[in-house]
Amino acid sequence: MRTFKPISYARLLEQIEIVRSGLRWSTTLDRAGISRILHQVNKLRSEVLTYARVEKIKARKSERQIKEHHAAEERRQALLDRSFVFEGVFGDNPKLLETVETVEKAARTDLPILIEGESGTGKELLAKVIHANSTRSQQAFISVNCGAITSTLLESELFGHVKGAFTGSIKDRKGLFEAADGGTIFLDEVGELPLESQVKLLRALQSGEIQRVGSDDPIQVDTRIVAATNRDLYEMSMNRQFREDLYYRISTIAVTIPPLRERKDEIPLLIDYFSGEAADQLKQSEVKLTPRLYNFLHDYAYRGNIRELRNIIYRVACLSDGVADIIHLPEHIRPDPADRATSQKVNPSGNGRTLESVRKKAVDAAEKEFIEEKLRLVNGNVTMLARQLDMNRSYLQTLLKKRGIRAKNYKQQKRPATPVAK
């Protein structure tokens, strides 16, 4: 059987040349006829040339893309070949690869590392990865959320205290820096650290010494510091909300984890990973996603980054009977048209109201009212409110955004000073 083989552009141009020269020597056509056909053939020739040029550019471009892709694959494989430990997944995204490669090199040293990234991008996971790839991996890894502990308690948590240092301190107590001696301490939300504690942290970094609250005796510790923040620490240091000297010290090695929207190519990998993880945890077979849901998950703008994707997969795995679809998504993220179609199926009256949606609306409204009232009491200070509610500050920020609340609207205006009578 003959197979069709497309003719190359070069061969096509050669054929056109043959027609052109043949035309010139034609004995059967008059001059006007020859020049009319020649004109058509010339037009055809120039079109073929244009196509040939475009194809060449395309080929060059895709060759570059293929090369880039191969390079990323090789970089990823090289990391794995060097027994790099990563307790999750990472693909071929160049931005993430760069972060992971920096972390791999820095992990072997005792230098402080600052991890920057939006909420839910995997900062804590990366801190664990640093520890696991360091020579300290057999020692303690201790994680402290600086935003979740009140400033009065934080110092004693970190550095310990001696008996009688404050009311209730009935005996000496080791702090987390000492508990992590030889290992790593992870200071999450380091931007929330009160200025007074920042001085002590700087000292620990500079001299490896700490002092328990209520004591002047220095204690030598060998604790590696990894810090994380989802705030702009540099800007905070410029605004004197964070010590500049400490900023430079803890960010000796600074890495950023890109948000999920900047590494969408990792989404299929993460979906697979979390589907498997959910199946194990829920003791069921792996959930299958309809193409509709899969496409939605691929294009969705994850404000909560990887954590949000993970939660969605767990949810759909739990709520579906093996095959998950749009209907299994949390209602507030469900795309509208599909939502309408599916809610009509669930609720034949077709007015779009379901018991679940009515309940959710009421809960949302109550939550909003509660937060607004509390915000007013703390004068719009989110950090203070997070502490009062014993809540992660970044989670509270997400909640505010979700409910459309702007903290600064709850700041009371400073009254202008009363004019002094002359």
Ligand X SMILES: Nc1ncnc2c1ncn2[C@@H]1O[C@H](COP(=O)(O)OP(=O)(O)OP(=O)(O)O)[C@@H](O)[C@H]1O
Q: How far is CA 258 from CA 97, 116, 157, 370, in A?
A: 10, 9, 31, 33
Count interface residues toward ligand X (CB under 6 A): 17
Listed ranges 92-100, 116-124, 263-271, 277-285: which one lies at the site for Mg ion (CB under 5 A)? 116-124
Interaction mask 294-323, ligand X, x per CB under 6 A: ------------xx--x-------------
Among 412, 402, 391, 400, which Cα is nearest to 372's? 400
- Residue list 327-366, contact with ligand X (CB under 6 A): none
Q: Is 267 in the site for ligand X (CB under 6 A)?
A: no
Q: Which does 306 bind (CB under 5 to 8 A by kind): Mg ion, ligand X, none?
A: ligand X
Amino acid letter for position 54: V
- Name residues contacting ligand X, limited to 81-100 (CB under 6 A): 88-90
CA atoms within 13 A on the CB side of 105: 8
Shortest separation between residue 115's beta carbon and ligand X, angstroms: 8
Cβ atoms 236, 262 nearer than 8 A: no
Residue 124 interacting with Mg ion (CB under 5 A): yes
- The structure tokens listed for 86 are 């990563």
Q: Are 297 and 267 in contact (CB under 8 A)?
A: yes
Binding partner of 231, given ligand X, Mg ion, none, CB within 5-8 angstroms per partner class:
none
CB of residue 310 vs ligand X: minimum separation in angstroms?
Answer: 5
Among residues 118 and 325, whose Cβ is nearest to ligand X?
118
β 218-220/209-211 pair status: antiparallel
Residue 230 in the binding site for ligand X (CB under 6 A):
yes
Residue 324, CA distances (Å) to 246, 295, 297, 355, 363 in order: 48, 12, 12, 21, 26
Give least dist CB 99 to Mg ion, A. Answer: 16
Q: Which is nearer to ligand X, 277 or 372 (CB)?
A: 277
112-151 footprint of ligand X as x/- string (CB under 6 A): -----x-xxxxxxx--------------------------
Pairing state between β 224-229 and 184-188: parallel
**CB-based burial of residue 118 (10 Å sphere; 0-12 exposed, 13-18 middle, 19+ buried)?**
buried
Residues of the shown chain interacting with ligand X in the complex, contacts defined by CB under 6 A? 88-90, 117, 119-125, 230, 273, 306-307, 310, 394
Residues in contact with Mg ion by the rule CB under 5 A: 124
